[in-house]
């Protein structure tokens, strides 16, 4: 009977469905990297989310591993090419959380436009600063979507429904209607990233790109840490060139460096702890897709 190790949280009904499919499932969703190194040789498959990193040293220990299942979009936390060189399949669930992430990006745009976090903090501090919070409407504004895969396209559809003009750029997609990155940046009031973090996308938005944005533009980062140069973002915000940003992902998670904490502390910054896929619906879909993959590759 195949043995599967679940290293990060997966919906309980999905776990039971895997067991019902004839797979021995061990749930250790708080396992440490050191503990994982010691037990991985016992397993035919493993399920990870964002927390667990699967790098070459761990793969070398995984002498019986046949498949690595990543619940979510992208496989940035897995050395996928190295795993493939060892005969290990790396699979993910790209469709399951697309709507959840797109909705979070949209919520962040609304929050920035109407200064919701500042207004909320003001009320909770006992003030009634009604005249301080004159926001802006999204209708009539231009959204630049960087990364036009499932999430980017879903966000674009929602933004168009609100009356926004949408421009899109993707370094990996060649199709009619996409625009060069510089053109997108010059025209956008809001920019939202939806890309994997690779050598090609590292610091895709940095000092030069922020300078191209309109004064008063806002940036949404709900893709992967590293695609935005956070030091350059800080400078663009404190200079007043950018009006605000909303961040769900960071180069360091959780953020601990002085530079990141300075960025997070700015009043024009809204932050969330990598919750893009954290909806009931997305978790159920991720669980269902993982079950299907387990049945296909381990049952």
The two three-digit tokens of residue 271, written as one number: 């932050």
> Of 70, 153, 274, 289, which is the active-site residue?
274
> Of 194, 197, 224, 289, which is the active-site residue?
224
> Of 252, 253, 281, 296, which is the active-site residue?
253
Residue 224 falls in the annotated catalytic set: yes
Residue 274 falls in the annotated catalytic set: yes
Residue 253 falls in the annotated catalytic set: yes
**Residues assigned a catalytic role:** 224, 253, 274
């Amino acid at each position: 009977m195949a043995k599967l190790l679940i290293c990060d949280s997966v919906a309980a009904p999905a776990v039971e469905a895997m067991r019902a499919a004839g797979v021995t499932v061990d749930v250790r969703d708080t396992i440490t990297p050191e503990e994982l190194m010691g037990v991985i040789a016992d397993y035919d498959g493993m399920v990870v989310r964002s927390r667990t990193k699967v790098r070459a040293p761990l793969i070398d220990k995984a002498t019986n591993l046949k498949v690595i299942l990543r619940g979510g979009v992208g496989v940035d936390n897995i050395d996928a090419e190295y795993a493939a060189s060892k005969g290990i399949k790396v699979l993910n669930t790209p469709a399951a959380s697309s709507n959840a992430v797109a909705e979070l990006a949209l919520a962040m745009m609304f929050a920035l436009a109407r200064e919701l976090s500042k207004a909320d903090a003001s009320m909770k501090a006992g003030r009634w600063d009604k005249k301080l919070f004159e926001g802006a409407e999204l209708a009539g504004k231009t959204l630049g979507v960087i990364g036009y895969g499932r999430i980017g396209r879903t966000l674009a559809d929602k933004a168009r429904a609100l009356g926004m003009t949408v421009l899109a750029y993707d370094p990996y997609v060649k199709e009619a209607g996409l625009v060069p990155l510089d053109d997108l940046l010059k025209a956008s009031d809001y920019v939202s990233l939806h890309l994997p973090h690779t050598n090609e996308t590292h610091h895709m938005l940095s000092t030069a790109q922020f300078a191209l944005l309109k004064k008063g533009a806002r940036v949404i980062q709900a893709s992967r840490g590293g695609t935005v140069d956070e030091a350059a973002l800080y400078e663009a915000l404190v200079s007043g060139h950018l009006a605000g940003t909303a961040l769900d992902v960071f180069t360091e998670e959780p953020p601990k460096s002085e530079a990141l904490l300075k960025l997070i502390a700015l009043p024009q910054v809204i932050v969330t702890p990598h919750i893009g896929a954290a909806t009931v619906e997305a978790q159920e879909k991720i669980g269902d897709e993982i079950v299907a993959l387990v049945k296909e590759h381990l049952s």
